Amino acid sequence: MNMTLIGTTLAALLTIAVYSFLYKDNPFYKFAEHLVVGVSAGYYLVIYYYNFIDPTVVSPVFRLRIGGDAILLGGVDWWMALIPGLLGLILYARFFPKIGWVSRWALGIYVGGYSGLGIAPVMQARVLDQIRGGALPVHALHTGQGWTNLLLVVGLLGTLTYFFFSLKHKGVLGGLARIGIVFIMVGFGASFGYTVMSRVSLLIGRMNFLLHDWLRIV
Amino acid sequence: MRALLPALSLSVSVLLALFPPAGRAADAPLSEVVRETAAPAAVTGLQARDYLDNNDRGDKIELSWCLSADDGAGALSVLEYRVWRSQAPDEQGELVATLEPGTAAHVDTGVTPGVAYYYRVEAFDGALSSPAATAGPAVGRINLFQTSRLPVLVLSLAFFAMVIWFTRLAARGTNLFVRRIPGLNAVEEAVGRATEMGRPVLYVPGIGEIDDIQTIASLTILSHVAKIAAEYETPLIVPTARSVVMSAAEEVVKEAYAEAGHPDNYNPDNIRYLSDAQFAFAGAVSGIMMRERPAANLYLGAFWAESLLFAETGFETKAIQVAGTANVSQLPFFVTACDYTLLGEELYAASAYLSREPKLLGGLKGSDWMKVITICIIVAGVVLTALGVPQFGRWFFTQ
């Protein structure tokens, strides 16, 4: 028995163990669940170390210093790596109740920094591009494209109105919001069907693995 | 095709020489026939200007023109456009680009910053070139500010101003109206139901990182849920897929229990890190649902393909389920399988509504009025486009 067959058989048995959850919770599912959670936690620990901690902190500060090369991170001095390293370390301050509050600094810098960096791209992608895409010609109603544009503009304005929280949805505002939710639900329906199709293809993939790669009966 | 057309043109010329049409002498030389063939129409409206982009080094000049009348529609077929660059207006200069028919713009890269250039653009039909359109001088400059992103700056400043204004109003105690979101009533109802049944509440803050705004909004709602759970003395289980989110969730729940006057009921073991792997996390949360049988499942935050796995398993356990996410592709599953769903931005509005925190209220109000501005601009754009002023929409084009 070669290693490939052993690996395929193990993967097949784990697949069946996971599918057994469809009947009810059972020891086989529990085993598969705990195995994948444990393995993935260990896997990600290694991935994070080699992809983030090592190249951004450990190598610049320790290894390359010993080797005499003080420059890394695209020309940034090695000591610059100490800043994110220190911020990462102080996250662990929470394990010491007296200085636990220090960990909030790191969280604050992380959240604030990312939020600030995200503002301009979000403004461009979600507001400006929407405005540009929404200002469509709706006067040529003798053509199919004119009606399509009109439908898009009405749907867009209705949807924006639905997500307006500063006034009660009554009167004209309520009417527009109602149109908006209809468009939203139509969109959800289309998205649901599309995604279910892709999930069915995943199921076919697993069935193919079990019946073809493992059992070789199809 | 490019080789075929000149050959065809020559063949026609030869045929014309052999079988001359009326009005031309049969013995006229072939060179005269070729000379008589008309050149394609020239391009018009050629403009050359400094090109602005990110990290602008001043080494690009942008050209734009209107297509030759013979490009695709005229009697003569334009095969290519030729772009020439020189440093004097009366020089032919260097051929810098040969472009496909239908091309009406080009970015000339590799120019020296600060040097003035002149450009000539010709339409070429395989035999003859059109008279050249000329433009210049144009100078590539190093630009610290990318003017094409001016709309981003203007709208961002308007948004910031509104957020600050409403935040200050809220901080002064002004009652800023926010309409009630139907799904929110269900949150309290769900926790109450779990209390009556003597079973825990499960709160999943999504699988997004802490920098995801949905996760931040979810943690605000978690604070509200934790306070209710603390008051009702109902266990609250919070599984997380990110270690930093777990740290933040611990802080939030601990503080909420303290604020509710039940700090001793806080159980740090109930704030759990499971796995960063999406489906390992989904499997583990499903296991919690089946074994610990929470009576209320709240899924609020950033979710992807695991959304339906959660919602279906929760449905099996007959738990009351409230979900909310701004990931549009997952909302259909939550709408289908959960009792109540917060759609998209309702997730953010819910956190402001529940906390009444001035900063969150200011953000919500600011984004609300930003929507009003957006609607007005779209309506204006539609009207102006109908009136034949398409330039309006172009102002919002950014690189």
Give a yes or no: residue A126 inside a domain: no
Report the candidate in B172, B218, B170, B188 with the shortest Cα–Cα distance to residue B320. B188
Q: How many CA atoms lie within 13 A of A35 on its CB side?
A: 13
Could you list the pLDDT tens digit for every one of the 218 residues in chain A? 688 899 999 999 999 999 999 998 999 999 999 999 999 989 999 998 998 888 878 877 776 555 545 444 555 567 777 888 888 888 888 788 888 888 888 888 887 888 788 888 888 888 888 888 888 888 777 888 889 999 999 999 999 999 999 999 999 999 999 999 999 999 999 999 998 898 899 999 999 999 999 999 98
Cβ(A186)–Cβ(A194) under 8 Å? no
What number does CATH give the domain B42-139? 2.60.40.10
Find the CB nearest B378 among A43, A134, A137: A134
3-state SS, chain A, equals: CCHHHHHHHHHHHHHHHHHHHHCCCCHHHHHHHHHHHHHHHHHHHHHHHHHHHHHHHHHHHHHHHHCCCCEECCCEEHHHHHHHHHHHHHHHHHHCHHHHHHHHHHHHHHHHHHHHHHHHHHHHHHHHHHHHHHCCCCCCCCCHHHHHHHHHHHHHHHHHHHCCCCCCCCHHHHHHHHHHHHHHHHHHHHHHHHHHHHHHHHHHHHHHHHHHHHCCCC
The torsion angles phi and psi of B145, rounded to 5 degrees, stand at -120, 125
Report the candidate in B228, B235, B238 with the shortest Cα–Cα distance to residue B200. B235
Give a yes or no: residue A212 inside a domain: yes
Distance from B199 to chain A by nearest Cα, in Å? 19
pLDDT of residue A65: 53
Q: Of chain B residues 151-170, which have a CB less than 8 A from chain A?
A: 151-152, 155-156, 159
B87 touches chain A (CB under 8 A): no
Give chain B's radius of gyration (CA, Å): 34
User: How far apart, in whole angstroms, are the C-alpha atoms of residue A110 and residue B71?
Assistant: 55
Asked if the Cβ–Cβ distance from A137 to B371 is below 8 Å, we say no
User: How far apart, in whole angstroms, are the C-alpha atoms of residue A187 and residue A210?
Assistant: 35
Number of domains in chain A: 2
A128 touches chain B (CB under 8 A): yes
Give a yes or no: residue A156 inside a domain: yes
Predicted confidence band of residue B325 (pLDDT cuts 50, 70, 90):
very high
Q: Of chain A residues 173-212, which have a CB less than 8 A from chain B?
A: 184-185, 187-189, 191-192, 195, 199
With a cut of 50, say whether residue B9 has pLDDT above it. no
Q: How far is CA B287 from the centre of its chain?
A: 37
ipTM surpasses cut 0.90? no
pLDDT of residue B103: 83
Find the CB nearest B398 among A128, A134, A161: A128
User: How far apart, in whole angstroms, are the C-alpha atoms of residue B46 and residue B43?
Assistant: 7
A143 touches chain B (CB under 8 A): no
Chains A, B: CB contacts under 8 A, how many?
171
**In this predicted model, what pLDDT tens digit does every residue of B181-239 receive, in sequence order?**
878 888 889 999 999 999 999 999 999 988 788 998 899 899 999 999 999 999 999 99
- Locate B351 and state its tokens: 């956190």
User: Do A151 and A211 belong to one domain?
Assistant: yes
pLDDT of residue B279: 92
With a cut of 80, say whether residue B59 has pLDDT above it. yes
Question: For the purposes of burial, counting CB atoms within 10 Å of the CB of A149, is it exposed (0-12), middle (13-18) or buried (19 or more)?
Answer: buried
Give a yes or no: residue A65 inside a domain: yes
- Cβ-Cβ contacts under 8 Å for B268 (sequence gap 6 or more): B250, B254
Asked if the Cβ–Cβ distance from B247 to A91 is below 8 Å, we say yes
Which of A95, A120, A144 is at the close of a domain?
A95
> Of B284 and A78, which is predicted with more confidence?
B284
> B interface mutation test: which of A131, A153, A168 has the most B CBs within 10 A?
A131
User: Do A87 and A143 belong to one domain?
Assistant: no
> Of B142 and B34, which is predicted with more confidence?
B142
Query: CATH 3.40.50 occupies which residues in chain B?
Result: 176-356
pLDDT of residue A63: 63
Distance from A4 to chain B by nearest Cα, in Å? 24
- Cβ-Cβ contacts under 8 Å for A7 (sequence gap 6 or more): none
Cβ(B182)–Cβ(B172) under 8 Å? no
pLDDT of residue B4: 44
- Locate B55 and state its tokens: 């990290």
User: Do A86 and A149 belong to one domain?
Assistant: no
Give a yes or no: residue A164 inside a domain: yes
Which of A35, A68, A95 is at the close of a domain?
A95
Q: Of chain B residues 239-278, which have a CB less than 8 A from chain A?
A: 244, 247-248, 250-251, 274-277
With a cut of 80, say whether residue B76 has pLDDT above it. no
> Which residues form the domain of A141?
136-218
Closest chain A CA to residue B154: A123
| Per-residue CA distances from B330 to A62, A143, A204, B305, B343 (Å) | 44, 35, 21, 7, 10
Distance from B185 to chain A by nearest Cα, in Å? 16
Beta bridge partners of B297: B202, B321
- Cβ-Cβ contacts under 8 Å for A58 (sequence gap 6 or more): none
Q: What is the pTM of this model?
A: 0.74
What number does CATH give the domain B176-356? 3.40.50
A160 touches chain B (CB under 8 A): yes
Closest chain A CA to residue B346: A163
Asked if the Cβ–Cβ distance from A110 to B159 is below 8 Å, we say no
Helix axes B213-232, B346-355, angle to 10 degrees: 40
pLDDT of residue B394: 67
Q: Of chain B residues 11-40, which have a CB less than 8 A from chain A?
A: none
What is the end-to-end Cα distance of chain B in Å, rounded?
A: 35
User: How far apart, in whole angstroms, are the C-alpha atoms of residue B393 and residue B131?
Assistant: 33
Give a yes or no: residue A35 inside a domain: yes
Which of A95, A119, A146 is at the close of a domain?
A95
Give a yes or no: residue A209 inside a domain: yes
Mean pLDDT of chain B: 84
**In this predicted model, what pLDDT tens digit does every residue of B302-324 receive, in sequence order?**
999 999 999 999 999 999 999 99
Give a yes or no: residue A64 inside a domain: yes
User: Do A154 and A79 belong to one domain?
Assistant: no
